[in-house]
Every structure is written in structure tokens, then in C-alpha cells.
């Protein structure tokens, strides 16, 4: 009787562990995962951080012509191919709710680093919108 009870408890515990949903990734961890994939030029890991209908916007609200994962994959594959030494450093980061704001410095595209501010909006563990501020 006791061995049968132990087997039942063990089986129930195993099923509960298998059925548990994966832990949700925080917006800040998601953006860091995206930065790490960018710096490794790991296109698949990079693209996996974005939602299907990813939008890149300007600060005046206009949506960029490149929209969705197909455009994202094509654009960044070309970028990684053309600039094999491309890396980004995070100079400052602010995270609040579903938003992460990074001041980023990209190196490897020319003689001088390029500094931009990126505002990432996340939902359900994916980046769904990005705004870039140049300067």
C-alpha cells in the first residue's frame, strides 16, 4: 500500500512539474538577450526576441517601411554580413513596466562609434515595437 502511494505521489509531482508553464522573461532580460544575440551575430536568437509584427517607429509616430520578422531577418542578416566586427555597448538602461530604454553605442561600422537611444516595447515575452533616437 505505501509503495503504491509513493508511486502515485511521485507521478503526480512529475506531472505537475511537466505541466508548469515556463517562467516569463522580464522585459529587461529580454532586451539583454537581444543585445547578447546581436553582439554574437546570432541571427536566429536575435530574431527570436521579436514578435511577428515587429514595428520600428520614429519619434513622431511614423512606422518604418521594414515591418515584421521577414524584413527584420533580411535587414540584420545583411548588417551582420557587411560589418563582421559590429558590437553594441549599453551605456545606460531604464526599465519600467513593458518598456526598456537603452542608450547604445555601436562600434564596428566605421571609424567612429554611433550612439542611439532605443525604446523597446515588449509584450508576452517579445519585442513588439522599437523607437530609435539618433544623436
List, for residues 1-49, the tens digit of each pLDDT value. 555 545 555 444 444 445 445 558 999 999 999 999 999 999 999 999 9
**What CATH number has the domain spanning 25-134?**
3.10.450.50
**Selected residue with higher pLDDT from 8 and 99:** 99
Angle at 107 between CA 104 and CA 112, to 5 degrees: 105
- Position 135 scores a pLDDT of 67
Beta carbons within 8 Å of 120's beta carbon, 6+ residues apart: 27, 31, 34, 99, 100, 101, 102, 127, 129, 130
- Position 10 scores a pLDDT of 47
**Mean pLDDT computed over 60-87:** 90
State the Cα–Cα distance between residues 58 and 62, nearest whole angstrom.
5
Domain boundaries, the chain: 25-134
Residue at grid coordinates 546581436: 38
**Selected residue with higher pLDDT from 30 and 58:** 30
- Position 3 scores a pLDDT of 54
State in Å, rounded, how far the first CA of the chain is from the last one: 73
State the Cα–Cα distance between residues 102 and 88, nearest whole angstrom.
11
Give the max Cα distance, the chain: 76
- Position 11 scores a pLDDT of 47
When pLDDT is cut at 50, 70 and 90, the band that residue 98 belongs to is: very high
- Position 63 scores a pLDDT of 77
Amino acid at each position: 500500500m505505501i509503495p503504491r502511494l509513493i508511486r502515485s505521489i511521485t507521478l503526480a509531482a512529475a506531472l505537475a512539474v511537466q505541466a508548469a508553464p515556463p517562467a516569463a522573461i522580464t522585459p529587461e532580460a529580454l532586451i539583454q538577450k537581444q543585445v547578447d544575440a546581436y553582439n554574437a551575430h546570432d541571427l536566429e536568437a536575435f530574431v527570436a526576441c521579436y514578435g511577428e509584427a515587429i514595428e520600428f517607429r520614429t519619434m513622431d509616430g511614423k512606422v518604418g517601411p521594414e515591418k515584421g520578422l521577414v524584413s527584420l531577418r533580411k535587414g540584420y542578416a545583411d548588417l551582420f554580413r557587411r560589418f563582421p566586427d559590429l558590437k553594441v555597448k549599453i551605456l545606460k538602461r531604464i526599465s519600467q513596466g513593458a518598456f526598456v530604454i537603452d542608450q547604445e553605442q555601436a562600434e564596428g561600422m566605421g571609424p567612429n562609434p554611433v550612439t542611439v537611444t532605443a525604446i523597446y516595447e515588449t509584450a508576452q515575452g517579445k519585442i513588439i515595437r522599437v523607437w530609435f533616437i539618433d544623436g
